[in-house]
Amino acid sequence: MDVVVVGKHTEVDSALRALTVEKVERVTKFASDVRRVDVDYEQHPTRRAEDSHACEILVHVRQQLVKGTAAGIDHVIALDRALDKVEEQMRRLHGRRVRRRNGSRARSASVAAAAAASSITVGAEADGAERVVVKSKQFDVKPMSVEEAALQMDLLGHDFYLFTMADSGRCAVVYRRRDGDLGLIEASS
């Protein structure tokens, strides 16, 4: 695994570089196919002291990218916060891989059990069978670019992702089309 440490508008000394390499090696416990880890440190002297030092970690796993960004009062705190985010995403990625490897039988049994436990009727289909909502979620919609939303969609392993467009402030959905390309649905005001 290659670890690339870069500083933008700041100097990365050898002690910080060694600490970074040591801490970043923890992500390999979630995936054995980590190819490269990019760690970018940045300093913003015009920001508040609490978030003047930023750290961005980008983990290159086979066919996946996992990203974590955080800020802190110094680079070590920012590294720890970003690494916590990356480890959480790596944990989710590992769980998805295990579920895929174990097959769909266990997954289909759990979906049937959830449908029986919480049967919310939405409507009836043409053949008379009722459609049931088996899962409901609530989450904060964050402003971001379309590229960031597509990356988040891939990291979560979903076929769609709801977000707020950073430039217009409108809600939008990025989704994966059947042909493999991406589509965008943007709400009008």
Instruction: Tell me what pLDDT residue 141 has.
Output: 81
Task: Please state the CATH superfamily assignment of the domain spanning residues 2-101 in this structure.
Answer: Ribosome hibernation promotion factor-like (3.30.160.100)
Instruction: Tell me what pLDDT residue 49 has.
Output: 76
Least confident window among 26-30, 131-135, 140-144, 152-156: 131-135
Instruction: Read off the pLDDT of each residue in 131-156 and give the average, rounded to a whole number.
Output: 84
Instruction: Read off the pLDDT of each residue in 173-178 and give the average, rounded to a whole number.
Output: 92
pTM of the predicted model, to two decimals?
0.53
Top-level class of domain 143-186: alpha beta
Percent helix / strand / coil, the chain, rounded to 5: 40, 35, 30
pLDDT digit string, tens, across residues 3-52: 999 998 888 999 999 999 999 998 888 888 888 999 999 988 777 777 88
Q: Is the pLDDT of residue 110 over 70?
A: no
Q: What CA–CA distance (Å, rounded) separates 155 from 86?
A: 11
Residue boundaries of the structural domains of the chain = 2-101, 103-133, 143-186
